Amino acid sequence: MNAISVNSLQKEYQVFNRKPGLWGSLGSVFWREWNKVKAVDSISFQIGEGELVGFLGANGAGKTTTLKILSGLLTPTSGQVEVLGFKPWRREREFQKRISLVMGQRTQLWWEIPAQETFRLNQAVYGLSDKQYQESLGELVEMLELKDYLAVPVKKLSLGQRMRAELAAALLHRPKILLLDEPTLGLDVVMQKKVREFILEYNKKWRASILLTSHNMDDLTALCPRVLILEKGKLIYDGNLESLIRRYAENKIIKIVFEGDVSASKIAALGGTFDSQKTTMLVSVPRADVSKKAAFLLSSFPVADLTIEEPSVDEIVRKIFSKT
Amino acid sequence: MKKYWRAYLISLQETLQRRSSLVMDRLGGIAVMLSLYYFWKTLLLGRTSFLGYSYSQMLTYVLGMNILRSFALTGRGWELVGEISSGKISSYLVRPLSYHGYALALDLSQKTVHLFAAFFEIGALLIFFHPPFYWPKSILSLFLFAGALLTASLLFFFLEFIVSSLAFWTSESGGPLFFFELFIQFAAGAFFPLDVLPRFLQKVLSLSPFPYLVFLPINIYLGRVGEGRAFQDLLISFVWTAVFGATSVYVWRKGLLSYSAEGG
């Protein structure tokens, strides 16, 4: 059985047109023109038990709307949605005990007091026995390295520590479905890696189905063999991530920091661009030529630092959209 | 029930943690209490009674207002408005939890802290100023007062919940809530006893639920309402509470429907 099954899902919002100027604002007190906006337009997909799937798309493409529908926060305008055999928008207790939604920018932790208090609250909310709670908490604390932060007021935690505590609070009841909206947003590289490792471990250990949105390419390459791409509410790609990258990201990016001054004309010949701080140069190179080009750069220029990176998801997505 | 008890405890901790807001809040209350205390003291100078209140009854009314304000007229309206407009309620809606029960638990925990603070303040005032204080003539009227106090706080909770729920439909629900807070203090008798008002206004207000929030509970305490009448008032107060309780559930459901249709 599929853990998540979505067929011809549609979600429309009503938005009212704001008229410009004071008269427009005054007018809108008495009459408003409503517009229908399709946030999700007839999408279908299935996600199996234990699958890890990435959700891609520009801002406003409908990713978060879909996650909200799957978690039961929004009622679909039309179409069929089943999560673990439940209709999410009915918000049945049994359904809610088996899912979790984590939004990177919103916290469910109580701000002024230690995170362990929120954990205790969730123990009661999800009806976990003391034994279940201790077992689950012990495991999460170890996996997320939270031991030293349990008794610290949440407001004193760093963003990375808070995100890990957030994950612990969301997973105490061991949900079978985990919906993650930008789980690594704002975290430093080390913390991103820790969070990713944890997500993978949780997925393996409990065979939980996980659907996550991210703008971070590393999240997707490390976690999601399969991606779904949305554009303006439509599902335009559902498949393997690697073949997607091969197809659209023909180039890699070489980042170079020069040592001392290099003559402007020589740099211009490389065809790269400088970043906004004017310290790092970015050169886009076809995949096949990367090693040759890197060797050439290292031998012909005084290079302080050189890294080779995948283009950002945004860039790939932009490319896909420009070709569709 | 256990989840709501946990919510009560956690909110108690958080309220106590926010010491400076609590102290500011209480200082505001003390300022209101003291100014009304001196106002009535001056007005009653050289009189034995006013509008049927004896000197001690009137000053006790002022002190009683502090209790009622702290227990019945405090709530989490602004938090609720904030949680609805910022979309934070989403994090409750995906959990197996009744938001009404949760909000009530949080509300009661705040009221608990404020009630203790109010008793402490009144105690201090009694010790330092020795005002004539009215003690009820019978234990029964004390019980009736306690009942009226509890009902009043539930009634206020539901009324405020309804007004705050307007945030589901408008981003400007702060306006109605602000008006509600001021109006209710006037209409409930939290500035002055309602007997001060012209007769027809008293008549109009007596048909509304507002006097049951402050005016009637204190009058029960002061023994100005006979015990038989007090029972009757308590019953009416129950009915109002039930009516607004049901309304708040209805409005909340409607709000959630619009929330889940429009997103948040």
| pLDDT one digit per residue (tens) for chain B, 264 residues | 899 999 999 999 998 888 888 899 899 888 988 998 899 889 888 888 888 888 889 989 999 998 999 999 989 999 999 988 888 888 899 999 999 999 999 999 999 999 999 999 999 988 988 888 888 888 898 999 999 999 999 999 999 999 999 998 887 778 889 999 999 999 999 988 999 899 999 999 999 999 999 999 999 999 998 888 999 999 999 999 999 999 999 999 999 888 876 654
Angle between helices A130-143 and A115-125 (to 10 degrees): 140
- First vs last C-alpha separation in chain A: 33
Of A39, A113, A123, Cβ closest to residue B14? A113
Which residue does chain B place closest to A13, by CA atoms? B262
A277 confidence band (pLDDT: 50, 70, 90): low
Which residues fall within 8 angstroms of residue A94, CB to CB, at 6 or more apart? A86
Element of type H or E holding B143: helix B139-165
Alpha helices in A275-324 (DSSP H): 290-300, 313-323
Q: Tell me the per-residue pLDDT of A190-213, one tens digit each, with 9 for 90 and over.
A: 888 988 999 999 999 999 999 999
* Residue B197 buriedness (CB in 10 A; 0-12 / 13-18 / 19+): middle
Q: From B260, which residue of chain A is nearest by alpha-carbon distance?
A: A74
Contact B10 A120 (CB under 8 A): yes
CA distance A140 to A136: 6
Task: Report d(CA B215, CA B53) in Å as an integer.
Answer: 13
User: Does residue A114 contact residue A151 with C-beta atoms inside 8 Å?
Assistant: yes
Q: Residue A75: which of B5, B10, B261 has the nearest Cβ?
A: B261
Q: Is the dihedral of CA A115, B88, A182, A239 positive or negative?
A: positive
Q: Residue A272's pLDDT is what?
A: 75
Q: Is B212 within 8 Å of B126 (Cβ atoms)? A: no
Residue in A65, A89, A99 nearest the CB of B263: A65
Q: For residue B61, report the phi and psi dihedrals to the nearest 5 degrees.
A: -55, -45
- Name which of A95, A108, A62, A119 is nearest B86 in CA terms: A108
> Which residue of B lies nearest to A179 if distances are taken between CA atoms?
B94
A4 sits in which H/E element: strand A2-16
Paired residues of B50 in beta bridges: B53
Determine, for residues A72 and B94 on separate chains, whether the beta-carbon distance falls below 8 Å: yes
CB contact under 8 A, A68 and B263: yes
Q: For testing the chain A interface, which of B91, B102, B113, B170 should be mutated: the one with the most A CBs within 10 Å? A: B91
Instruction: Give the C-alpha separation, A1 to A49, whole Å.
Output: 8
Provide, rounded to the nearest whole percent, the portion of chain A with pLDDT above 90: 47
Q: Does B203 touch chain A (CB under 8 A)?
A: no
- The answer to whether the Cβ–Cβ distance between B96 and A125 falls below 8 Å is yes
